[in-house]
Amino acid sequence: MKTLRIASRKSPLALRQAELVQRRLRAACGLVSRIVPLTSAGDRLRDVPLHDFGGKGLFVRTIENALLNDEADIAVHSLKDMPVQATAGLVYACFLPRHTAEDVLILRAPQGLPPRLNKATVAALPPLRIATGSLRRKFLLQHANPTLTVEQVRGNVDTRLKALHAGKYDALVSARAALQRLQLREEHCHIFDYDWFVPSCGQGVIAVQIRAGASDWSEALAKLDCPTTRQCVEIERAIVKALGGNCALPFGCHARVDGDYIKVNALAMSAKRVARISLMVARHTDPASVAVRAVKKFSQTQLAAVLAELTF
């Protein structure tokens, strides 16, 4: 059998995720593989806000092109970086079980906070300087506490943490899954309640893309697929797509299993206001029908005003 080529970004987190897929494929079916590390446009444009250049999709175009040009056989992504609009000629072969979808607040110095943060605890924070590259996180923080100064930050997780501890800012917001996959332990780390601080669509999920019709690897990758994760992220992506969202817009959507149901929280924000909904749907409900329900429920909120205020 030929060696499987795995396309990945060169960042430490992306390579760690590609190595995880590599190990699981070897354990599941003995596949021999090698990682093809690539530098994306998003990695090169480090000094500009992502929403000025098309959002997080900048991180995946180079990887997808390598797949389409037969320079790789599969591509490994953080699903939260993937545009909800499908790329012609590519499909998702598997979604690994979701690690965790939560965001965390990492402080340079203790503030006497509880392990888990809700809107009230954030509202009580002193006027800190907090770094994030995400408009969703920025708006959530500033809606809860207008005294917070939220600063734009780019770079990989380790670079951001070094800037934090060097005193460039007081706190940093990051995906909890990123810290755990890199085995980074921060002393003053607090977890946001994801029913309020709704994560980005697909956050915490590793996705594997292949070329449509590439049957050589489909059967092996199917062994890595998590059906529960697949249904949840397909619901999330269907809702964001139905709302007209993309990687540049401050939208959040999170679906999780709750007994015989799936609980869905979603929001869209501008600097002035938040439109937010919550749904409970039966397990195995079609994602498209959930999206229809979500849009109908959003129509009863300030969604139209939010979208009118988003100018990028």
Q: Which of 81, 103, 193, 225 is catalytic?
A: 81
Torsion sign, CA atoms 100, 200, 247, 293 = positive
CB 28 within 8 A of CB 224: yes
Task: Report the alpha-carbon distance of residue 126 to residue 107 in Å, rounded.
Answer: 12
> What's the Cα-to-Cα distance from 106 to each of 126, 144, 165, 180, 293, rounded to whole Å?
15, 17, 10, 13, 36
- 158 is an active site residue: no
> How many other CB atoms are found less than 10 A from the CB of residue 240?
25
Q: Identify the three-state secondary structure at position 282.
A: strand
The token pair that represents 4 in the structure block = 């499987």
Q: CA nearest 102: which of 218, 247, 254?
A: 254
Catalytic residue numbers read 81
